[in-house]
Amino acid sequence: MTEKPIEYIKNLYAGSTQCESFLHDFFARDILDEARNFHKQIPGYRISPLKNLSNLASKLGLGGIWVKDESDRLKLNSFKVLGGSYAVGKVIQSRLGTVDQPLSFSNLTAEKTHSQLGEIIFSAATDGNHGRGIAWAASQLGYQSIIYVHKLTSRARIEAIERNGAKVVVVDGTYDDAVRQINVDSEKNGWQVISDTSWEGYEQIPRWVMQGYSTMISETQEQFAAQGLIKPSHIFVQAGVGALAGSVIGYYAELFGKNRPRSIVVEPSLAPCLYESAVIGDGQPHSFEGELNTIMAGLACGDPNPLAWNILRDYANYFVKCPDYVAAKGMRVYGLPLANDPFIVSGESGAVTLGCLMFIMLWPGAEELRKRLHLEHNSQILLINSEGNTDPNHFRQVVWEGSKSVPHEYRYFRS
């Protein structure tokens, strides 16, 4: 039986005030300003574009589809470097004992800083983009890095990490196995772990990572203002461990409170740890067991980030899981847009939200969800293209060769 394009569950905890004080502290204005100011100092920094797929929006009966395009962020093909660089910077600042001073890129790279701290080896586990960002940030600041990847990581993603100065180790297991192994080996070797997921006793650095992502949303809000929009009405955001989703949804929840946009968290059906946590429904994060063998490599995670889960539990409206063909459709639509809509290069993890949105609007089986979400002619949708072409061979298989094609029973488009 062909897998449905969408399965969804309403978040029964949405609207809870359980982590309200946590949210205020997490997204404090001075912290977000510090992250944004730090990123502005990085050589090559520029605001990534917010692109408007106005013709596709009209075709789907929506007011606007806005895509924050992270495919060329600092020439690294992903937003991930925002969180990794800020966390690396904060670790160095903490070791210097200068947390009461502004976080300065030039101070972190100064010769006196290196002579004071000596050698630091930064480490991380990754599906590709986070590790590449950590390798780049460490190299930019004059330090070494070692990155662990799982056995299904493509050669192209490994080589991209290596080109940014890191040593790469392949772990015989899943992404979650790589996370556990890097923690053990870093403790033994004295490496400094920079993880985008948290565990008991390790929360501050993943917190910095998530706060670093806020620069992207701060930029987005400025770009919406330039279009005369106060905020999007809906946010579709992809999730692996949930750090990106927690950062985006938490940012808007803190900024707009009860008037925040409706939010939909989208995961692969082969790695839906947040969706399954919502299904279990006890308010706790739960791991998803499986090989996580999805084309959405950046989302192939079985263990939720507990920090992110605290935010998503209280503020995400719906959790959705989609098969690989939904992400593949999103890639092809981005790459072959309607006339006068902008062309966007999007990898598998970046495109799943567009595919999900299209099936919600077109698939008769999603009619009830459309109504619940109030998706209509004046809706303004925010999507995040979280990555560009990070695996060229697989990208061509999907876009050129039609790999992971949409099943015949789900092929239709509104005339």
Q: In this structure, what DSSP letter does residue 44 have?
A: T
State the burial class of residue 75 (Cβ atoms within 10 Å of its Cβ: 0-12, 13-18, 19+): exposed
- Residue 326: predicted pLDDT: 98
Q: Which of 4, 51, 80, 404 is flagged as catalytic?
A: 80
* β-bridge mates for residue 242, sequence order: none
- What are the helix (H) ranges across 257-322? 273-280, 306-315
Counting as low any pLDDT under 50, the low residues of the chain are 414-415
> In 3D, which of 218, 226, 232 has the Cα closest to residue 260?
232
- Residue 19: predicted pLDDT: 86
Compute the distance between CA of residue 324 and CA of residue 333 in angstroms, rounded to an integer: 15
> In 3D, which of 190, 191, 238, 234 has the Cα closest to residue 80?
238
- Residue 413: predicted pLDDT: 64
For CA atoms 87, 144, 113, 191, give the dihedral sign: positive
> In 3D, which of 263, 320, 272 has the Cα closest to residue 296?
272
* String of DSSP letters for 212-249: HHHHHHHHHHHHHHHTT-SS-SEEEEE-SSSHHHHHHH
Compute the distance between CA of residue 390 and CA of residue 153 in angstroms, rounded to an integer: 11
Compute the distance between CA of residue 212 and CA of residue 36 in angstroms, rounded to an integer: 8
Q: Is 80 a catalytic residue?
A: yes
Torsion of CA 386, 270, 305, 36, to 10 degrees: 0
Compute the distance between CA of residue 144 and CA of residue 165 in angstroms, rounded to an integer: 7
352: number of Cβ within 10 Å: 35
- Residue 132: predicted pLDDT: 96
Strand (E) positions, 282-401?
Answer: 318-322, 380-385
**Which domains does the chain carry?**
7-78+205-410 (3.40.50.1100), 80-204 (3.40.50.1100)
- Residue 43: predicted pLDDT: 94
**How do 192-193 and 380-385 pair as beta strands?**
unpaired
Which residue's entry shows tokens 């099943």? 407
In angstroms, how far is CA 100 from the centroid of its own chain? Answer: 30
The CA distances from residue 30 to 102, 248, 359, in Å, are: 11, 17, 40
State which amino acid sits at residue 268.
P
Categorise residue 3: left if φ over 0, alpha if ψ from -120 to 50, beta otherwise. beta
> In 3D, which of 369, 365, 362, 368 has the Cα closest to residue 320?
369
- Residue 290: predicted pLDDT: 86
Q: Is 51 a catalytic residue?
A: no
Phi, psi of 38 (to 5 degrees): -65, -45
> In 3D, which of 59, 67, 52, 47 has the Cα closest to residue 353?
67
User: How many CA atoms within 13 Å lie on the side-chain side of 41?
Assistant: 20
119: number of Cβ within 10 Å: 8
Q: Which of 127, 303, 324, 391 is flagged as catalytic?
A: 127
- Residue 17: predicted pLDDT: 79
- How big is the chain, counted in residues? 415
Compute the distance between CA of residue 76 and CA of residue 84 in angstroms, rounded to an integer: 12
- Residue 412: predicted pLDDT: 73
Angle of the 29-41 helix axis to the 80-96 helix axis, nearest 10: 100
